[in-house]
Chain A
Amino acid sequence: MAAARALAWRGFADSRARNVSFALLFALYAYAQAAAYESTYPTLADRLQFAQSFGDNLALRLFYGVPHDLLTTAGYAEWRVGGVLAIFAAAWGLLAAVKVTRAEEDAGRTELVLSGPFGRRSAFGASVAAVAAGAVLLWAALLLGLAAAGLAAGDSALVALGTTSVAVVFGGIGALAGQLGSTRRVALELGVLVLAVAFLLRVVADTSSNLEWLRWATPLGWAEELRPVAGARPAVLLLPAAATVLLLAAARWIWLRGDVGEGLLRSRETRPARLELLSSPTAQALRAERMSLAVWLAGTAVFSLVVGLLSATVADANISKDLQGQIAKLGVASITAAGYLSLTFLFFVLVVSLFASSQIASARHEESDERLEILFAQPVGRLRWLAGRLGLAIGGAVALALVAGVCAWAGAASQGADVSLADMLEAGANCLPPALLFLSLAALAFAVVPRASTGIAYGLVLVAFLWELFGSLLDVPAWTLDLSPFHQIGLVPAESFETTAAVVMIAIAAVLTLAAVVSFERRDLTGA
């Protein structure tokens, strides 16, 4: 028992960075959304107008689900907070469960643990306990954030429970995926696939008029059907509970029978040589990244197409100018197709920037796994390698921006929305200056503080994005908002492309990249 506790504690402690950042995200997001609603719609009249204008808006349902009560802060929080955080909660559950199961097996540590006087049953129990402890932390963070914004304790607890239930179910999915896939990467890919399907089912259920029953087929829908503050139905919680038990039982069944270090789905380990894309370090990096690049492109294509398709339906001219201003302040979709696309393209700026971060993370992974030592022992210069990796990142970012623009246009045009291809290509291009700036910052981090660079690469993008979202709601000083690259770009196509800002960002990026190259050429290669 002491051993199981020690192992569970180890798993929990190893995940502290992820747990703390998600808990902060949950608490801050919940507080900011609920507080902003209170201050923007203080009277019942304001709220009625808001509900009438947006209660049936399909684009909003796409992102947040179906609202059940838009007249109280609690009801608004249930919709806006629950809808968005459910997806983050699902991602957390997958990452947490795969980390304590497959990732540990992958790294060979599980073998070490099980070689001691310690059974598989206890090991499984310890892993589950580590994830459960993290889920409790998320629940508490969300509860505190909502309560701080003035929600009743009971409402806060139930809203938080609904969102956390998604984390728990996806913890079960992660545990099962971890027993199916033989590597951490395959397990995560399986889990993300399930999440994508779950999200798609929820979107179809929430935006169609006759497929609403599909909501019962997805854990994201269960969280909606709980309706925590609009006639709560606690019995719905039995669904995530039962699903989690079943998933964990299946994962445990496989775990107790399988070979440690192997999943149920074994990939073919022997194959004839494929000799394409091996001619240079850059070609080989493209070879290693091509699957992941294809997933980024496909995801962006689908999402931008959907956004384009919806853009025509959100146009509604019957809203007063005064309300438009308030809506814009909340970051809610504006009321023309172009306005809607402009706001949603902020999301693609985030996507392209995160892609840039992922490329630096991948370069760092090559180094921390000591493959760079083998590479640089060949007649391969550091400049050549880094330039190739950065070129690949820039090429990928340009492709993503292009795909987002073209697909959004195709979707919008097919529905007769009033946007041109040129407009949307401009909106795509608008993603690039911030992405290049983030890429150069990440590259500099990689060159100067390699061990922290992956966290910095993703962290800077997310902090800047969240700051842009929260900052505008919280009335912080303008100069702090100006620091975020997301604040510097124009909302294309509704506004014009900010050429000056773009030139400045790209110039800064060029200088930072140069600094990164110079520093990287002078430093020691650094292991994990």
Chain B
Amino acid sequence: MPDAIRTYGLTKRYGETLALDSLDLTVRQGEVYGYLGPNGAGKTTTIRLLLGLHRATEGRGEVFGIDAWKDAVAAHRRVAYVAGEPSLWPTMTAEETFEFLARLRGGTDTAYRDLLVERFELDTSKRVRALSKGNRQKVQLIAALATRADLLLLDEPTAGLDPLMEAAFRERVHEAKERGQTVFLSSHILSEVEALCDRVGILRDGRLVDQGTLAELRHLSAQTVEVTFAGAPPSLDGLAGVTAVPAGERSVRYEVSGEIGPLIAALANHPVIALTSREPSLEEIFLHHYDAAGGRGGG
């Protein structure tokens, strides 16, 4: 069974700008893959290359084993796409847009489409130009989901959606996964990726800096242990892999990379009142990657 997405040293330059630097990406069939990165990291470029909309400078991409550039049309029979910008035909109504896109594909699941229209509460008789950005985004989403395509390429699909609609979107992604569809979700909304994705790839300046399941990513990252003492916090210098950050008059937050045992042993000699430990959130992992490289934080 070929992978849903496979890229080999995929590279794209726009003039002097290196937008994507030798990307090797594998997305297996049936998984929901979160593609994370701040603005300008190369997420949209990756998707455009995978759709054959832009041409790779070096390397190549495959969709279900089909070359994304040379056999784009064959690949697209198995793909549905939601673009970051909902650029549709302004004078056509939503329903006409659905019909047009369905006919281009040679069919779609109209019963499911009707259900989606209901779930996303869209007025399909309105012309696209009269719709708000969020509603235009719904038109794209519904058209893509209704295809029941084997692979959904979603480029920041919830931009402009309200929280209710975002919840509806998450349900639909769960349903797609149950049906065995593959979802490639480009996003910078970390909670969304954390809630939906089996595996996550983090992109920075056109390079994949980390990849794995959430558990794997956490394992490699620092854990946070917050400790409150009865008196003044002791100095625990010299413990390998532990950095201490004051978190109050009697509290200290320890960032631990690697084993937590030595820290626990050291704390045993001190009057600890409370100790909380938690796994890093995706946000912390994400920020870690950006701060660690001296790059930009946040995003």
**CB neighbours of B193 from chain A (8 A):** none
**CB neighbours of B104 from chain A (8 A):** 280-281, 375, 378-380
**B18 CB to nearest chain A CB (Å):** 15
Residue B168 interfacial (CB < 8 Å)? no
Contact at A279–B103, with CB atoms within 8 Å?
A: yes
CA distance in complex: A523, B57 (Å): 11
Contact at A373–B53, with CB atoms within 8 Å?
A: yes
The proximity string for A residues 36-73 relative to B, scoring 1 for CB distances below 8 Å and 0 otherwise, is 00000000000000000000000000000000000000
Residue A288 interfacial (CB < 8 Å)? yes
Q: With A278-B99, A378-B76 known to touch, is A273 a contact of B125 (CB < 8 Å)?
A: yes
Task: Name B93's contact: one of A273, A369, A379 (CB within 8 Å).
Answer: A273
Contact at A524–B54, with CB atoms within 8 Å?
A: yes
**A279 CB to nearest chain B CB (Å):** 5
**A183 CB to nearest chain B CB (Å):** 8
Cβ-closest chain B residue relative to A523: B55
**CB neighbours of A522 from chain B (8 A):** 55
**CB neighbours of B54 from chain A (8 A):** 524-525
Contact at B99–A271, with CB atoms within 8 Å?
A: no
CA distance in complex: A68, B87 (Å): 55
Q: With A278-B103, A378-B104 known to touch, is A273 a contact of B95 (CB < 8 Å)?
A: yes
Contact at B89–A371, with CB atoms within 8 Å?
A: yes
Residue A381 interfacial (CB < 8 Å)? yes
Contact at A380–B55, with CB atoms within 8 Å?
A: no
**CB neighbours of A272 from chain B (8 A):** 125
Cβ-closest chain A residue relative to B96: A273
CA distance in complex: A377, B51 (Å): 6
**CB neighbours of B99 from chain A (8 A):** 273, 275, 278
B contact residues, range: 35 or more
The proximity string for B residues 33-72 relative to A, scoring 1 for CB distances below 8 Å and 0 otherwise, is 0000000000000001001111100000000000000001
CA distance in complex: A495, B104 (Å): 48
The proximity string for B residues 80-102 relative to A, scoring 1 for CB distances below 8 Å and 0 otherwise, is 11010101110101011001110
Residue B248 interfacial (CB < 8 Å)? no
Residue A269 interfacial (CB < 8 Å)? yes
Task: Name A278's contact: one of B52, B74, B96, B129 (CB within 8 Å).
Answer: B96
Task: Name A381's contact: one of B72, B101, B125 (CB within 8 Å).
Answer: B72
Contact at A379–B76, with CB atoms within 8 Å?
A: yes
Contact at A376–B100, with CB atoms within 8 Å?
A: no
**A365 CB to nearest chain B CB (Å):** 11
Residue A321 interfacial (CB < 8 Å)? no
**Most chain-B Cβ atoms within 10 A of its Cβ — which of A183, A280, A373, A523?**
A373
CA distance in complex: A375, B130 (Å): 21
The proximity string for A residues 151-195 relative to B, scoring 1 for CB distances below 8 Å and 0 otherwise, is 000000000000000000000000000000001000000000000
**CB neighbours of B153 from chain A (8 A):** 377
Number of interface residues of A (CB under 8 A): 30
Interface of B is mostly: mixed
Contact at B81–A271, with CB atoms within 8 Å?
A: no
Residue B79 interfacial (CB < 8 Å)? yes
Contact at A270–B73, with CB atoms within 8 Å?
A: no
**CB neighbours of A376 from chain B (8 A):** 51-53, 72, 76
**CB neighbours of B179 from chain A (8 A):** none
CA distance in complex: A274, B89 (Å): 14
Contact at B87–A369, with CB atoms within 8 Å?
A: yes
**CB neighbours of A373 from chain B (8 A):** 48, 51, 53, 83, 87
Contact at B53–A377, with CB atoms within 8 Å?
A: yes
**CB neighbours of B91 from chain A (8 A):** 288
Contact at B73–A288, with CB atoms within 8 Å?
A: no
Contact at B96–A270, with CB atoms within 8 Å?
A: no
The proximity string for A residues 248-286 relative to B, scoring 1 for CB distances below 8 Å and 0 otherwise, is 000000000000000000000111111100111100100
Residue B294 interfacial (CB < 8 Å)? no
Cβ-closest chain A residue relative to B51: A377
Task: Name B87's contact: one of A270, A271, A374 (CB within 8 Å).
Answer: A374
Cβ-closest chain B residue relative to A277: B100
**CB neighbours of A523 from chain B (8 A):** 55
**B139 CB to nearest chain A CB (Å):** 10
CA distance in complex: A271, B124 (Å): 9
Contact at B51–A269, with CB atoms within 8 Å?
A: no
Contact at A270–B123, with CB atoms within 8 Å?
A: yes
CA distance in complex: A279, B104 (Å): 7
CA distance in complex: A106, B272 (Å): 64
**Most chain-A Cβ atoms within 10 A of its Cβ — which of B48, B87, B88, B101?**
B87
Residue B270 interfacial (CB < 8 Å)? no
CA distance in complex: A452, B52 (Å): 23
Contact at B93–A271, with CB atoms within 8 Å?
A: yes
Q: With A271-B93, A522-B55 known to touch, is A379 a contact of B105 (CB < 8 Å)?
A: yes
CA distance in complex: A269, B153 (Å): 30
Contact at A288–B81, with CB atoms within 8 Å?
A: no
CA distance in complex: A381, B77 (Å): 11
Contact at A377–B96, with CB atoms within 8 Å?
A: no
**CB neighbours of A275 from chain B (8 A):** 96, 99
Task: Name A524's contact: one of B55, B87, B93, B140 (CB within 8 Å).
Answer: B55
Q: With A288-B89, A379-B104 known to touch, is A271 a contact of B55 (CB < 8 Å)?
A: no
**CB neighbours of B79 from chain A (8 A):** 377
Residue A370 interfacial (CB < 8 Å)? yes
Q: With A278-B103, A376-B72 known to touch, is A269 a contact of B87 (CB < 8 Å)?
A: no
CA distance in complex: A98, B51 (Å): 38
**A260 CB to nearest chain B CB (Å):** 16
Task: Name B105's contact: one of A378, A381, A525 (CB within 8 Å).
Answer: A378
Residue B126 interfacial (CB < 8 Å)? yes
B interface, CB within 8 angstroms of A: 48, 51-55, 72-74, 76-77, 79-81, 83, 85, 87-89, 91, 93, 95-96, 99-101, 103-106, 123-127, 129-130, 140, 153
| 9 nearest CB pairs, A to B | A269-B130, A377-B81, A370-B87, A273-B95, A524-B54, A378-B104, A379-B76, A278-B100, A379-B77
A-B contacts, 20 listed (Cβ < 8 Å) = A270-B125, A271-B93, A273-B93, A273-B124, A274-B96, A275-B99, A278-B99, A278-B103, A280-B103, A281-B104, A284-B100, A369-B87, A370-B83, A370-B85, A374-B81, A374-B87, A374-B101, A377-B153, A378-B104, A379-B105
> Other than the known A370-B85, A377-B76, A522-B55, what 11 A-B pairs have Cβ atoms closer than 8 Å?
A183-B129, A270-B125, A273-B99, A370-B83, A371-B87, A373-B48, A377-B53, A377-B153, A379-B73, A380-B76, A524-B48
